[in-house]
Amino acid sequence: MATPAGLERWVQDELHSVLGLSERHVAQFLIGTAQRCVSAEEFVQRLRDTDTLDLSGPACDFALRLWNKVPRKAVVEKPARAAEREARALLEKNRSYKLLVDSEESSEETVGRAGSNLQKKHKKRKHLRKKRQEEEEDEEEEVSERGKRKRGGSKQTEKPESEDEWERTERERLQDLEERDAFAERVRQRDKDRTRNVLERSDKKAYEEAQKRLRMAEEDRKAMVPELRKKSRREYLAKREREKLEDLEAELADEEFLFGDVELSRHERRELKYKRRVRDLAREYRAAGEQEKLEATNRYHMPEETRGQPKYQLVLEEEETIEFVRATQLQGDEEPSAPSLPTQAQQKESIQAVRRSLPVFPFREELLAAIANHQVLIIEGETGSGKTTQIPQYLFEEGYTKKGMKIACTQPRRVAAMSVAARVAREMGVKLGNEVGYSIRFEDCTSERTVLRYMTDGMLLREFLSEPDLASYSVVMVDEAHERTLHTDILFGLIKDVARFRPELKVLVASATLDTARFSTFFDDAPVFRIPGRRFPVDIFYTKAPEADYLEACVVSVLQIHVTQPPGDILVFLTGQEEIEAACEMLQDRCRRLGSKIRELLVLPIYANLPSDMQARIFQSTPPGARKVVVATNIAETSLTIEGIIYVLDPGFCKQKSYNPRTGMESLTVTPCSKASANQRAGRAGRVAAGKCFRLYTAWAYQHELEETTVPEIQRTSLGNVVLLLKSLGIHDLMHFDFLDPPPYETLLLALEQLYALGALNHLGELTTSGRKMAELPVDPMLSKMILASEKYSCSEEILTVAAMLSVNNSIFYRPKDKVVHADNARVNFFLPGGDHLVLLNVYTQWAESGYSSQWCYENFVQFRSMRRARDVREQLEGLLERVEVGLSSCQGDYIRVRKAITAGYFYHTARLTRSGYRTVKQQQTVFIHPNSSLFEEQPRWLLYHELVLTTKEFMRQVLEIESSWLLEVAPHYYKAKELEDPHAKKMPKKIGKTREELG
């Protein structure tokens, strides 16, 4: 894949001697273009198109020589693409053939869907027949006439005598079509094979390797997705629904046989049957409701005394209760000498006493000796063992911070870094920000005196940019390493590298009891130091049988726990906002129905997007006699700790982001969680006393179906940012970078390709000047490119706002369930023609005009928290503008300039309107505008999107209308004029591409 290093020099020399040109970028452009062209003709044509060289003179000869010399990777895929196009054209032909046949159907129909066409036709025919019966005979002729006309007047499609015969001929026709498609597929395959033979051996090998990986990835995905989805509730229900329907259909098929009556068509009968079924179900349901009501009133008269152990059987239907079996116990760490948790009195008495009571304390000397003897040490210890707060202090006391050296301790979360730093400062009796400080984005609470620095992992990563060898640090401690965040994983690779040539640097990797062996192997068999934690035992219960509807099961179990178990709060883990809201509603509803028969149950939701005042409610202490049930997302797994939780209810699912490097598409799917995260959840029950964890799956499922650990983030996310960072640290060979778990090859490749397209890397994969600037900005590469481009269009003020708004994750608009209409209205009020980016700009501007008011946010259904964050991001970016040599300027309402600047960053993400909806320009993938977009009903011809997400469809979120000519303006190296012309448009708008085409 690498271009020979001497090539560029050769081209430059030639350019100089033949044409007297000496610009480097011309040489780069020529090589790049030559690499992408299939034939010399195309190359020359492209040079003509872009007007780079005057090809009338000796330059033409030179161009040919150059073309011969440049190795072309494009050759690998281009002919394949051509073959594909050809095959597509063939298919298209077939389609038009089919159009003749299925004259009533749109061109969208595929063979697979044609089955349903038959049904539609049945319906139509049935309708016609009815009419025929109703009306007189003379009309009959006209109807059949119309029928003929409708089928395109084609002679092949004469109307057969009977219904069945007609159906048969139709089937045969479809079969024929399928055969043709298969033929087209064969043609395409043959051409592909031929292309492959043309390749040189080395290219071929690489190509095949890539193909293999791609195939494997695809297969993996195919195999995994249904597997994962199968488990999601919605899918399960859908499947059940389908099965029900299938049963129904089978029944009907039997009946059809019995019914001698020709009058009823199959479809009619089916409808009838279905209606009957629905009616019966409704009856059953109503009857059940009556019964329930009856029982409820009966229960009301139950004497108080019977409410004892078996009470729940009275409150809950017997078939409603869920049977759990106790299987295992999460061992508490036995510590006979230690008094449970340090009480407040003790804390007041002496901070030092508390320090001494921590599990890590007895190991102080041993630990320090181990650190002195080994450069890298893996420390294994549960939360609560005091490793995060104590170890850096021990190191400080031992003198690791002399000679102005610092100790760094990284945390995956901002809050953790802040609170730990505050606590350590208190323990050491210094002011926060002096000897002990923290450093997180937007907030640097350190000074020159700071020697103990707590920071987020991303922050340390950024420090590598200014200090690649971490020269001012004597110790680096990576805490919570088992969480395997993206930043932690990158840090591992970098630190391992630094440690090699800085033998005096001490590296500590602190992790929970998980995977320490892997860390050890990664760091050349570094020793593992174990510290016992402090935790209470947790009994783990599993269900006897799998639960189909886990939401319902959750609600039932909560009530079950509430009525049968001793006091103590309950924590329920669900996957998302929607589910949490549903569960809370169900719980409250049931509690209301049960009324005073049960004790008070406080139902509290918690998820990240919940407004802060609602979030704060979960920390209020439970009133006496009541029980609190917190319904949470994963947020409660790591990010926040709720006191008083004794019971944990774990359905075993979580939402997980995954990334498809082939399409650059992210998706968020409900997946079974890993064993590690199940145990983490269970552990939440044992923080204040012995607890219980109820898992809504079987012990067998835990053993055999759950993954050991969650897939590390680095393998399921886009890596544009990371690659740029590593490149700017001088790491060129990313494929062989020492990753603890290497990301998929395709992900890296796509990231490199995108960076190349953005001009951050040159064709040799080296960082360019603009690439270096882009790495300075803490945003995604495309966003930073957009910011850099705003200089040219002098609209950096607006672009900064857009960038800031885009980087807060789609949580700008607040949409409470009970005020959906108002919220939507408020949103529509912000709409501006042009697209969602301008809407965001509009929201921010208005908010700024309101004086950054929270009241304004409340009135306009805008999330204040997100806006504040956007303001922080904007301020930070503004501060960095000078470093990347962009001046502050405003476009004064000329939004065309803003849109052009955005296009300059996002030209990679474009889609065009075709007859069959939107297609991405490069990958030719069918995509849709997100219904929340301001352009949802507009359907402009050319679009740019911020991101592509797969939910129910492939949606483009945050779209902007652009003109195709802008693409040539901002990315002439990436787009060919030819690509941008619109073959289907009747009226051609003015386009550079078109005029050039006409001239050339």
Of residues 575 and 920, the one with the C-beta less far from DNA = 575
Least distance (Å) from DNA to the CB of residue 7? 35
Of residues 167 and 444, the one with the C-beta less far from DNA = 444
Least distance (Å) from DNA to the CB of residue 778? 3
Is residue 380 classed as helix, strand or coil in its secondary structure? Answer: strand
Place of tokens 């921010």: 844
- Whether the CB-CB separation of 203 and 76 falls below 8 Å is answered with yes
Among 87, 358, 459, 719, binds DNA (CB under 7 A): 459
* Cα 966 from Cα 903, distance rounded (Å): 7
Least distance (Å) from DNA to the CB of residue 463? 9
Site for DNA in 619-638 (CB under 7 A): 633-635
- Sign for the CA dihedral angle at 222, 226, 232, 235 comes to positive
Of residues 713 and 961, the one with the C-beta less far from DNA = 713
Site for DNA in 940-959 (CB under 7 A): 949, 951-953, 955, 957
DSSP at 923: T
Least distance (Å) from DNA to the CB of residue 656? 6
- Whether the CB-CB separation of 823 and 816 falls below 8 Å is answered with yes
Q: Is there binding between residue 868 and DNA (CB under 7 A)?
A: no
Residues 6+ apart with CB under 8 A from 591: 559, 598, 601, 603
Q: Is there binding between residue 287 and DNA (CB under 7 A)?
A: no
Residues in contact with DNA, shown as a per-residue x/- string from 819 to 838 under the rule CB under 7 A: -x---x--------------
Least distance (Å) from DNA to the CB of residue 933? 9
Of residues 656 and 910, the one with the C-beta less far from DNA = 656
Of residues 74 and 228, the one with the C-beta less far from DNA = 228
Among 79, 359, 384, 458, binds DNA (CB under 7 A): 458
Of residues 824 and 938, the one with the C-beta less far from DNA = 824
Least distance (Å) from DNA to the CB of residue 472? 17
Of residues 563 and 665, the one with the C-beta less far from DNA = 665
* Cα 806 from Cα 463, distance rounded (Å): 25
Site for DNA in 707-736 (CB under 7 A): 721
Among 157, 385, 456, 680, binds DNA (CB under 7 A): 456
- Token representation of residue 448: 């020159």
Q: Is there binding between residue 810 and DNA (CB under 7 A)?
A: yes
- Size (the chain), residues: 1000
Of residues 223 and 820, the one with the C-beta less far from DNA = 820
Which amino acid appears at position 428 of this protein? M
Among 387, 837, 930, 991, binds DNA (CB under 7 A): 930
* Cα 582 from Cα 559, distance rounded (Å): 16
Site for DNA in 769-788 (CB under 7 A): 778-779
Of residues 195 and 863, the one with the C-beta less far from DNA = 863
Of residues 180 and 233, the one with the C-beta less far from DNA = 233
DSSP at 18: I
Distances in Å between the Cα of 200 and the Cα atoms of 67, 195, 208 are 16, 11, 12
- Whether the CB-CB separation of 874 and 884 falls below 8 Å is answered with no
- Whether the CB-CB separation of 594 and 670 falls below 8 Å is answered with no
Size of the site for DNA (CB under 7 A): 50
In whole angstroms, what separates CA 229 from the centre of its chain? 15
Q: Is there binding between residue 668 and DNA (CB under 7 A)?
A: yes
Of residues 247 and 578, the one with the C-beta less far from DNA = 578
Site for DNA in 957-996 (CB under 7 A): 957
Q: Is there binding between residue 577 and DNA (CB under 7 A)?
A: yes
Between strands 942-950 and 910-914, the pairing is antiparallel
Of residues 481 and 531, the one with the C-beta less far from DNA = 481
Least distance (Å) from DNA to the CB of residue 488? 10
By CB under 7 A, which span of 88-96, 601-609, 691-699, 797-805 interacts with DNA? 601-609
By CB under 7 A, which span of 271-279, 425-433, 574-582, 699-707 interacts with DNA? 574-582
Which amino acid appears at position 298 of this protein? N
Least distance (Å) from DNA to the CB of residue 671? 10
Residues 6+ apart with CB under 8 A from 253: none
Longest dimension (CA), the chain: 108
Of residues 367 and 514, the one with the C-beta less far from DNA = 514
Place of tokens 């859908």: 238
Least distance (Å) from DNA to the CB of residue 233? 12
* Cα 555 from Cα 553, distance rounded (Å): 5
Q: Is there binding between residue 657 and DNA (CB under 7 A)?
A: yes
Among 807, 925, 926, 965, binds DNA (CB under 7 A): 807
- Whether the CB-CB separation of 963 and 834 falls below 8 Å is answered with no
Of residues 101 and 486, the one with the C-beta less far from DNA = 486
| DSSP code per residue over 562-583 | HHHSPS-EEEEE-SSHHHHHHH
Of residues 215 and 915, the one with the C-beta less far from DNA = 915
By CB under 7 A, which span of 159-167, 174-182, 484-492, 557-565 interacts with DNA? 484-492
Q: Is there binding between residue 72 and DNA (CB under 7 A)?
A: no
Least distance (Å) from DNA to the CB of residue 416? 7
| DSSP code per residue over 618-677 | GGSPPPTT-EEEEEE-THHHHT---TTEEEEEE-SEEEEEEEETTTTEEEEEEEEPPHHH
Residues in contact with DNA, shown as a per-residue x/- string from 685 to 704 under the rule CB under 7 A: --------------------
Least distance (Å) from DNA to the CB of residue 380? 23
- Whether the CB-CB separation of 685 and 648 falls below 8 Å is answered with yes
Of residues 367 and 408, the one with the C-beta less far from DNA = 408
* Torsions phi, psi for 140 (to 5 deg): -50, -40
* Cα 680 from Cα 677, distance rounded (Å): 5
Name residue 86's beta-bridge partners. none
Q: Where are the alpha helices (DSSP H) in 259-325?
A: 266-300, 311-315
Residues 6+ apart with CB under 8 A from 537: 329, 330, 331, 332, 686, 690
Among 94, 389, 516, 656, binds DNA (CB under 7 A): 656
Least distance (Å) from DNA to the CB of residue 221? 18
Q: Is there binding between residue 423 and DNA (CB under 7 A)?
A: no
Q: How many CB atoms lie within 10 A of CB 414?
A: 17
Q: Is there binding between residue 678 and DNA (CB under 7 A)?
A: no
- Whether the CB-CB separation of 997 and 981 falls below 8 Å is answered with yes
Of residues 460 and 559, the one with the C-beta less far from DNA = 460
Q: Is there binding between residue 932 and DNA (CB under 7 A)?
A: yes
Among 156, 291, 298, 809, binds DNA (CB under 7 A): 809
Site for DNA in 462-481 (CB under 7 A): 462
DSSP at 742: P
* Among 470, 449, 451, CA closest to 459: 470
Residues in contact with DNA, shown as a per-residue x/- string from 396 to 415 under the rule CB under 7 A: ----------------xxxx
- Residue 138, H or E segment: helix 137-150
Of residues 199 and 608, the one with the C-beta less far from DNA = 608
* Cα 404 from Cα 731, distance rounded (Å): 29
Q: Is there binding between residue 485 and DNA (CB under 7 A)?
A: yes
- Residue 239, H or E segment: helix 233-258
By the criterion CB under 7 A, which residues form the site for DNA? 412-415, 440-441, 456-459, 461-462, 485-487, 575-578, 607-609, 633-635, 639, 654-657, 668, 721, 778-779, 807, 809-811, 815, 820, 824, 930-932, 949, 951-953, 955, 957
